[in-house]
Structure 1
Amino acid sequence: MEKPLERAIIVGLHLSQRLQADFDYSMQELASLADACHITVVDQLTQKAQRVTSSHYLGTGKVEELRLLAEAHEAETVIFNDELSPSQIRNLEAELDRKVIDRTILILDIFAERAQTREAQLQVEVARLQYMLPRLVGLRASLGRQGGGGGAGLRNKGTGETKLELDRRRIEERISMLQQELEKLVATRQTQRMKRKKNEVPVVCLVGYTNTGKSSLMNALLRHTDPETSKEVFVKDMLFATLETSVRQIELSDNKSFLLTDTVGFVSQLPHHLVKAFRSTLEEVAEADLLIHVVDYAHEDYQKLIDVTNATLEDLGTKGIEMVYAYNKCDLTDHPYPEVQGKSIYMSVREAKGIDELIGCIRQQLFSHYVKCSVLIPYDQGRIVSYFNEHAQIFATEYEEQGTRIEMECSVADYDRYKEFYLEEAQL
């Protein structure tokens, strides 16, 4: 027999300086986050105010209204749209006699459930512990004084240290240990990045709001360039299905290639604990040669999703990196597709329409520095001929008296690299 879903009331404070549309959207998103955490939202309560009430977040009258609402719906949990202070959580739980959580812990719970790789699990645990650290209130029974000395191997500081202080110190030690392990994984990631730069393989990053179809687009590109591929990534129609950064090499038909990176999706008010913990992963974005901003064009407020993503990207230091917009899910709209408008591609990943147009746009952005040329390579430099056969688009090969003549298109860097070995060269 399946366990019944947890029932919850969601609560938001609409501060006077905030636009009504932004507030309404954040509440809809909070309900979606609750759903992603297997919680059923049975009702919501909002209050307009000039400022947050420091003791209870809401005014006292609204707190009583919330208590009655939760009782009427038999809701076990109350979820607040903003991050609560430790004292607010404590006071609200006492008044409501219900479990109280905020937007931050809700997102952290989703991340904890979705994390698969060791790096993602470490990043989430660090973020959760950093969130918990100032919120260690402790029950009265656990606040008794601990005995000194070496009893039970607790390594505490001696008589006078409270259980709360001991818990806090253990968490700090745990955070330190996890961060050391993370640093080793980050060093490995940086080494991989350096190798990619050395090989001069361009990097394309898929970015966008969570659940817009980034992973589906990666799989579509993989299938388009290699129908027999076995390197597809996990896809599911839910928030934050992807937490791990996946990198796949895309081989085009003319021997051009690039690395395609799928990143964690963004969401408004992404907790700073998470941004800090996932910074090493998100830094992949700032290292990219091109960003493909995947947009859920069927979303009723897709522009808001774009704004949230662009604000997060700006914080990550992506200024100056070229961006192409992939307006996905056009099959759910009246907009014609596939269609190209400058650096915007209107497409449907589900129907595999617009993939050719997107690849054409990627080619234009990444390989504009390629040159068409004719070179004559001495026969004793066969390795150079082999290199160009693998890394350039060959139009014609002729064997002349002095060497092998190749007409090709290659990168300027490759063309210049072997210049000293050419017997004859000409731009086509």
Structure 2
Amino acid sequence: MSETRAQVPQEPGGDPAGPIESTGEHIRLAETHSAHNYAPLPVVIAEGDGAWVTDVEGRRYLDCLAGYSAVNFGHRNPDLVAAARRQLDRVTLTSRAFYHDGFAPFVTALADLAGKGQVLPMNSGAEAVETAIKVARRWAYDVKGVPRDEASIVVAGGNFHGRTTTIVSFSDDPDAYGGYGPYTPGFRTVPYGDAEAVAAAVDSTTAAVLVEPVQGEAGVIVPPPDYLPRLRELCDRRQVLLIADEVQSGLGRTGTVRACEHTGVVPDAYLFGKALGGGIMPVSAMVADEDVLGVIKPGQHGSTFGGNPMACAIGATVVRMLREGPYLGDARRLGELLRTRLKEFEGRGVVAARCIGLWAGIDVAPELATGRRMCELLAERGVLVKDTHGSTIRLSPPLVVSDDDLDWALDQIAAVLTDLGAGRA
């Protein structure tokens, strides 16, 4: 263990004006020349390997965020890097004006993995959500018979589906939506986990219910076990599409390919992203059957980079790894370790902890520390996590993290909680 975390010398990064010598100088230049749309922790990462990253001054950290699940398979996963390198030597972009030899294998493999018939590839998770919104509206007009421009979509409070103008129109996070109006109409927001509220919001104009099976940005909020089954029954009865945003929850994070599997629900469409790109590039997709995706005709939706050769090479490898590798079983096993250890923290500086697979939300007692302060103190101890909404922190380490390293990270959380509690005594 001690050898695993030994400091490794790291050459400083550089720019055209010469090498940047320190963490402080990297941050100073970044804050001077970039827009302040993020407030990063004061860590400047230079290398990554598996579940670990190294900063520009040689300090090593256990990455317990994994790019919000984009790095599910670890930094520089050798299978994914090899797939990307092979493709780099062949062709990287053709646009969808032509077929390429990686496209059919990727869409076939992903459709089969999801148990659906068709795939519409995009790039970012937000683009997958935007695609779903367009498809749902088109389906409402062409199939359900909703009058033109009257289609509505029911969404959940506390949601995070992306940051485009349309998506923030149905966010209830002031940081996400404040100051970006006028807002896109056509959305009805109801409390997350409340199937009766969804039922009350659905009417003859409703095209879809768009929901995260687990709300990640909200703090890893797991709904009641009957929530998704009740939504499925409602959508069947009212001729409404059920769309599951699995951008963060899918592809192994919860110990299953799809978080919906935990309740046995099969939605009409899945939205995948983040881990689909293997932590190498943005890859996303909407996956559904032909009776849903078939409403989109040539020229009605697209993306220059969507389904590009690099994306398909990486995405097809991700699918194969999920089918053949140990990742799903490891996520379930490590998730039990995580769940067991988190129970120890409740009442000892932690108000509540939620866990599903290798994914947890930890609510720290507000009087003890903010989530941001917890992240700063953990970074000092070599653990990288991310806060959200006040005093909540999230843990989502790569699925390749070892038992010992995960245990060590949880020891660091325990130590920080103890130090904070002692400081208040």
Structure having the higher helix fraction is 1
Q: Which has the higher strand share?
A: 1
Greater radius of gyration (CA): 1
TM-score, reference length from structure 1: 0.26
